[in-house]
Amino acid sequence: MKVVLSAGARRDLDEIGIELRRRAGTDIAVRVIGELRERTRNLASFPERGNVPPELEAVSGLDYRELHHAPYRIIYRLVADTVEIALVADGRRDFRKLLAMRLLRP
């Protein structure tokens, strides 16, 4: 399988990197972004290993899954032979609101 980051997920990683550089310095930002990218790449070999996000369990027809890299959550779905990374965000955010804005809007 191939792994593809949506435009939103690429933007998420950029914003996480900027915030980490501001708060913790460049070395930590580079390390964490590298770790998040590695987690997404590993989905090519084991795409079904993530769990269904609890916020989406009650929404039928959605096939999103998630991986954790504390405190971050990586939300993705399988589309044919592709793992599509939909978003990467700090799990301490209001995820119900974030998922509604990013995944459930028409």
Q: At what angle do helices 26-42 and 7-24 cross, to 10 degrees?
A: 150
d(CA 56, CA 46): 21
Residue 61 confidence (pLDDT) = 58
The CATH code of the domain that includes 54 is 3.30.2310.20
Beta-carbon contacts of residue 87 (< 8 Å; ≥ 6 apart): 6, 8, 9, 12, 74, 75, 98, 102, 103
pLDDT 10s digit of each residue in the chain, 106 long?
899 999 999 999 999 999 999 999 999 999 999 999 999 999 999 998 889 888 887 765 568 999 999 999 999 999 999 999 999 999 888 888 888 888 766 5
d(CA 67, CA 53): 9
Q: How many structural domains does the chain have?
A: 1
Residue 6 confidence (pLDDT) = 95
Residue 93 confidence (pLDDT) = 86
Q: Which domain holds residue 90?
A: 2-102
Beta-carbon contacts of residue 93 (< 8 Å; ≥ 6 apart): none
pTM: 0.89
